[in-house]
Chains A and B, each alone.
Chain A
């Protein structure tokens, strides 16, 4: 699996430079759940690429392909875009400000589906 992650400190520094003041960051966990089969996945936060992975495949035993964590501004609405470029699938969800948010992403019937939870998803 090829992983490219944009360093979080870089985002923080940009935030400080642009706004001139420190702002609170929250943790967004994105769980790639059902329906992934050797997929290339991109995650963008407010238009900026945050995560790129290839070979994402759902482990049927668990209903989970992979989990990832990204930091997002805690005090503003965040647009999270998930894209599967090779399958021409893309979907954006706007998440309200929150200390921690858990986002589940699945591919079902040819579409991306989101599940939002205030607590962590668990798998067994």
Chain B
């Protein structure tokens, strides 16, 4: 069979085997939930119980992926739909029987992640009639729950689909660029093997994956005479440049391959270079996106564009096919056979010489049927989606069929791998500064943004995980993925806010809402207590079953800068310090040890961001009085009175954070804008409390300049200006706010048009806070506010715009 033409494009070759029988049921199905709630969920289903394609083994499995459907109504237009992948499941060895023309498949569902009640699966596929697509009704019945029903339709006889983009280096841009191997061409083969012609597409079609090779390819000019061999870093770099699908959200069913010259190590004929450095590769997350085949390897010395005329030429074509299929297999998260304790597997993922070293020369090719082994087929067809899809689980990660022994601890909790298919209505963004000093409290900015250009969205903007609407996942340096669990669980009314659509030329601001969340300490202790690389991701669960996953954000925690800091870690990573940080400062005698250490560390490290952030917590404990119960006398039935044990000391709070201001001023990072705003807000509160309005305005002015130089948008700058204007024009309101809520309260205050509105909001805000207080909050003095003089000039209406 002639090899495909090489230039200018790589021509994909189609399948040569006969089509599958039209009466088989195996293949891929999909459909929406019909009961109990129509359209809320979506199922991607794979049935593997009868022969769907020639030379394609049957694995006797059923598997599925659940998606949540986000539908946003648009007046006068079809709803905007996106799907968020949630989780995958599998049924081993289902029972299959015919009942009156219909086919019934039943079995027990096994979920890959999380804890679920026992679940039974029943699939009923209607009898096949000419011209009519058979119905496929899928029912999942959870123990103690009501049945969940999906109405599905068959979409393919393959279980998965993949787009493969292939580029070629100029030095090897001669045919054949892709393999076409006739099994009959080489004399060494299993006697029973079906004669056929194999290509990459055909090999994977037999495995159960429909591979489509993109028709156009790029030519990488490697003709520089100084250039010799490819390194992993260089391969990864050209993938980033040439792979047309590299941009955009991952994971997705897209893969890139390149036909290159020679690798740094000439013994290497192909490599999947896109895995973590820990595996000796160049990749960073997302992984498993690309691979390379090295045409100048001695394996391919006898490769010819014509039909092979000798066993040597046939062996070269055979090896060419093997290398392409093998490397793509790595991108599907396959390990080598011996790495899975299957050194004698007759699989694309084994090395022929390794098999031969145990079983004798040529024994591999004498027995190999040009397929993956059964466990690999089950993984490929029915594995946990995150562990198969490109850019999903990192290579060789745990908790799935292809994971290496002992890697189960690397399994991700449910939800951690959720991704969006289609247009999503809301963006959930995580960002922070990229580097945190060792022991520096870790906080991230969570931002929701309306992505519709023409539709306002009303969202609950309580983004702190304490309220249950957002879940945060953290991948630690050792690879474990844990769910951040806050110390507190709060029940409250939603804080809904309308995010307006904006056009590309409009100033951002009204379309988004941000909140800074501290995630350093939670119910199970400190989450960032080790130096190293962390990844953070969030899931937002809004009203109406809206489910939005965030980006994956990377940050690094540094090593202790001094031996002294290293020794201090012993005391720092303690309950008292953790709770002091979590409560944003506390004068409780039970946490005194923690606060004292924070005070000491903030003074010793006052020139660093570590010291600055600890100082904010210390200062917060001074900004309002603290009440505690009087000591027990031991009298039975006694009533203990709350008494003030500490007065507010704004002067001490200001002294504690004086150096912190300088640290933030010196650090020109947009990621610190929110933190700096918090700090100044706290200081402004103190100044205002001490009737130092001029000092308060001066700090706000400094903040304004800093934010302006560090990329803050116009809305934020306006809010700061408004607040400065309000303070300078009004008599001092005696208000106190909690550290974090200060920023939002000030935003509200700054948006008011008259002083009456201003004072009403302050009073109302204080009344609301008193219902859900943590230790340290203070009741507002409404009488103080009512008696204030009116401002000399009104805040303009433009200040209302948020």
Chain A binder among B64-72, B82-90, B267-275, B420-428 = B267-275
Are A122 and B279 in contact, CB atoms less than 8 angstroms apart? no
List 28 interface pairs A-B (beta carbons < 8 Å), by A numbering. Answer: A57-B280, A58-B280, A59-B279, A59-B281, A60-B279, A60-B396, A61-B271, A61-B272, A61-B275, A61-B279, A61-B330, A62-B280, A63-B336, A63-B338, A66-B265, A67-B266, A115-B353, A117-B353, A117-B357, A120-B298, A121-B351, A121-B353, A122-B268, A122-B269, A124-B268, A124-B271, A124-B322, A124-B327
Most buried by B among A31, A60, A61: A61
Are A62 and B338 in contact, CB atoms less than 8 angstroms apart? no
Q: Which of A31, A58, A117, A122 contacts B299 (CB 8 A)?
A: A122
Are B269 and A124 in contact, CB atoms less than 8 angstroms apart? yes
Q: Which of A60, A64, A104, A117 contacts B265 (CB 8 A)?
A: A64
A118 to chain B, nearest CB (A): 9
B736 at the interface (CB under 8 A from A): no
The 10 closest A-B pairs by CB, nearest first: A59-B280, A124-B270, A60-B279, A115-B357, A123-B268, A124-B326, A122-B269, A124-B269, A67-B267, A124-B323
A43 to B396, CA, bound (A): 32
Q: Which residue of A lies closest to B349 (CB)?
A: A124
Q: How many residues of A contact B (CB 8 A)?
A: 21
Q: A60-B279, A124-B322 are in contact. List 7 more A-B contacts (CB 8 A).
A: A63-B336, A63-B338, A67-B266, A120-B267, A122-B269, A122-B299, A122-B351
A93 to chain B, nearest CB (A): 14
B297 at the interface (CB under 8 A from A): yes
A122 to chain B, nearest CB (A): 5
Q: Give residues of chain A (96-124) contacting chain B, Cβ–Cβ below 8 Å.
A: 104, 115, 117, 119-124
B240 at the interface (CB under 8 A from A): no
B699 at the interface (CB under 8 A from A): no
Chain B residues, CB < 8 A from A119: 353
B529 at the interface (CB under 8 A from A): no
Are A31 and B267 in contact, CB atoms less than 8 angstroms apart? yes
Q: Which residue of B lies closest to A117 (CB)?
A: B353
A62 to B266, CA, bound (A): 12
Q: How many residues of B contact A (CB 8 A)?
A: 31
A29 to B452, CA, bound (A): 62
Are B280 and A61 in contact, CB atoms less than 8 angstroms apart? yes
A89 to B357, CA, bound (A): 22
Chain A residues, CB < 8 A from B269: 122-124
Q: What DSSP secondary structure best describes chain A's contact surface?
A: loop
Q: Give residues of chain A (38-84) contacting chain B, Cβ–Cβ below 8 Å.
A: 57-64, 66-67
Q: Which residue of A lies closest to B395 (CB)?
A: A61
A18 to chain B, nearest CB (A): 33
A-B interface contact total, Cβ < 8 Å: 70
Q: Scan B573-615; emit 1 where CB is below 8 A from any A CB, else 0.
A: 0000000000000000000000000000000000000000000
A1 to chain B, nearest CB (A): 13
Chain A residues, CB < 8 A from B322: 124
Chain A residues, CB < 8 A from B460: none
Chain A residues, CB < 8 A from B265: 62, 64, 66-67, 123
Q: A64 and B267 in contact (CB under 8 A), knowing A115-B357, A122-B297?
A: yes
B102 at the interface (CB under 8 A from A): no
Are A34 and B280 in contact, CB atoms less than 8 angstroms apart? no
B483 at the interface (CB under 8 A from A): no
Chain B residues, CB < 8 A from A34: 338
B339 at the interface (CB under 8 A from A): yes
A120 to B272, CA, bound (A): 21
Are A60 and B326 in contact, CB atoms less than 8 angstroms apart? no
B318 to chain A, nearest CB (A): 13
Q: A123 and B267 in contact (CB under 8 A), knowing A60-B339, A60-B396, A61-B281?
A: yes
Chain B residues, CB < 8 A from A117: 353, 357
Chain A residues, CB < 8 A from B270: 124
Chain A residues, CB < 8 A from B330: 61
Q: Which residue of B lies closest to A115 (CB)?
A: B357
Are B280 and A122 in contact, CB atoms less than 8 angstroms apart? no
A13 to B275, CA, bound (A): 46
Chain A residues, CB < 8 A from B279: 59-61
Are A122 and B353 in contact, CB atoms less than 8 angstroms apart? yes
Most buried by B among A104, A120, A121, A124: A124
Q: Give residues of chain A (6-52) contacting chain B, Cβ–Cβ below 8 Å.
A: 31, 34
B231 to chain A, nearest CB (A): 12
Q: Give residues of chain B (239-275) contacting chain A, Cβ–Cβ below 8 Å.
A: 265-273, 275
A123 to B396, CA, bound (A): 18
B264 to chain A, nearest CB (A): 11
Chain B residues, CB < 8 A from A61: 271-273, 275, 279-281, 330, 395
Q: Scan B351-382; emit 1 where CB is below 8 A from any A CB, else 0.
A: 10110010000000000000000000000000
Chain B residues, CB < 8 A from A62: 265, 268, 271, 280
Chain B residues, CB < 8 A from A64: 265, 267-268
A94 to B396, CA, bound (A): 37
Q: Which residue of A lies closest to B281 (CB)?
A: A61
Are A121 and B267 in contact, CB atoms less than 8 angstroms apart? yes
Chain A residues, CB < 8 A from B396: 60
Chain A residues, CB < 8 A from B266: 67
A60 to chain B, nearest CB (A): 5
A117 to B271, CA, bound (A): 22
Q: Which residue of B lies closest to A123 (CB)?
A: B268
Chain A residues, CB < 8 A from B357: 104, 115, 117
Are B351 and A63 in contact, CB atoms less than 8 angstroms apart? yes
Q: Scan B314-339; emit 1 where CB is below 8 A from any A CB, else 0.
A: 00000100110011001000001011
Q: Which of A58, A60, A115, A122 contacts B267 (CB 8 A)?
A: A122
B74 to chain A, nearest CB (A): 47
Most buried by A among B265, B322, B327: B265
Chain A residues, CB < 8 A from B298: 120, 122
Q: Scan B289-317; emit 1 where CB is below 8 A from any A CB, else 0.
A: 00000000111000000000000000000
